[in-house]
Amino acid sequence: MSFDRPLDLVERPRRLRRTESLRAMVRETTLSPADFIAPLFVIDGKGAPQPIKSMPGVLRHNVKDLVKECRSLHKLGVPAVALFPKLAARFKDAEGTHALDEDGLILRAVQAIKSAVPGLAVVTDVALDPYTTHGHDGVLTPEGDDVANDRSVAILSEMAVLQAQAGVDIVAPSDMMDGRVGAIREALDNAGAENTAIMAYSAKFNSAYYGPFRDAVGSSKAAGTRLLSKATYQLDPANRRQALNEAALDEDEGADYIMVKPAGAYLDIIRDVREQTGRPVAAYQVSGEYAQIHAAAKLGWLDLERCRHESLLAIKRAGADLILTYFAKDMAKLLG
């Protein structure tokens, strides 16, 4: 075959990729600071920020420093933060009773943030794992071999009301108990918090990618193992149809946002949920996803900045409107 003359092609797709300007003109998916929610860890006291060894660059902040971090994120254009507490052992018990303490750490953190940075949206976690000695997201059955669904839901509903009264914008039940979204919606409405939104962890899988997060909030030590199984309430990673059913149930019960967690290994689920619902879809790029990118980059096997960007782009391309990611601040600096 002679190559003296150009091929007789009807279309040459590479024409649109020839220069950066041409590529930008047809770019289908872009990222901006407004796409991100920054997960933040909070501790009590006045001590210096605590590095989390398994999550490079991520810190546990006291409330005062947390407010400073929130100001910084807000200035960078990040619209929301999601708060997670790391509690001392003395505040934990089998029932997670400190979750209902009206002077609890998270409630004080919410009040401080909303007072200092009122334009920043605040999301709070509704689950008992940071508060229990066993590390599960709810209270246990009398036999101690499983989580008691309905009794847990009652506690979580009270927890959500307290958070709403503290001024939180969005409560985010991450527990995966049956019926909890409807119960929380009813409890919020009855308490006069009808404007508090619910971001449901609707398709939360029993993933192996949560280990660093459990270190960060102390639930792995509370449970005695970072390999704690939550298989009786979190979704089986093998199941796609169940995830869609969970999302549909949460929407019917009043969820304002539908979340998929983890994000990177479940892009197909993000796409399925996006096609099923008209609600905003959130996806959580979890601690293990963050840690593995950093670990490979540290070994020189991956380019940190390119892999960071590509991983987040893939999550948005799959259909996520919002991405919870520990890269939020770095990406906002880059994109702002």
Please report the pLDDT score of residue 238 as a whole number: 98
Q: What is the CATH number of the domain that holds 219?
A: 3.20.20.70
What per-residue confidence (pLDDT) applies to 6?
86
pLDDT of residue 2: 61
Supply the pLDDT for residue 1.
Answer: 57
Domain count, the chain: 1
Residues noted as catalytic: 204, 261
Total residue count of the chain as it appears in this document: 336
pLDDT at 144: 87
Distance of CA 275 to the CA centre of its chain: 21
Tell me, what's the pLDDT at 17?
A: 97
Is residue 7 in a domain? no
Residue 220: inside a domain, yes or no?
A: yes
Q: Tell me, yes or no, whether 279 lies in a domain.
A: yes
Question: Is residue 299 one of the residues assigned to a domain?
Answer: yes
Can you list the residues of the chain whose pLDDT is less than 70?
A: 1-3, 220-228
Domain that holds residue 74: 31-335
Q: Is 11 exposed, middle or buried (0-12, 13-18, 19+ CB in 10 A)?
A: exposed
Q: How far apart are CA 244 and CA 272, in angstroms?
A: 7
Residue 134 lies in a domain: yes
Tell me, yes or no, whether 12 lies in a domain: no
Q: Is residue 117 part of a domain?
A: yes
Q: What is the pLDDT of residue 245?
A: 98
Q: Is residue 6 part of a domain?
A: no
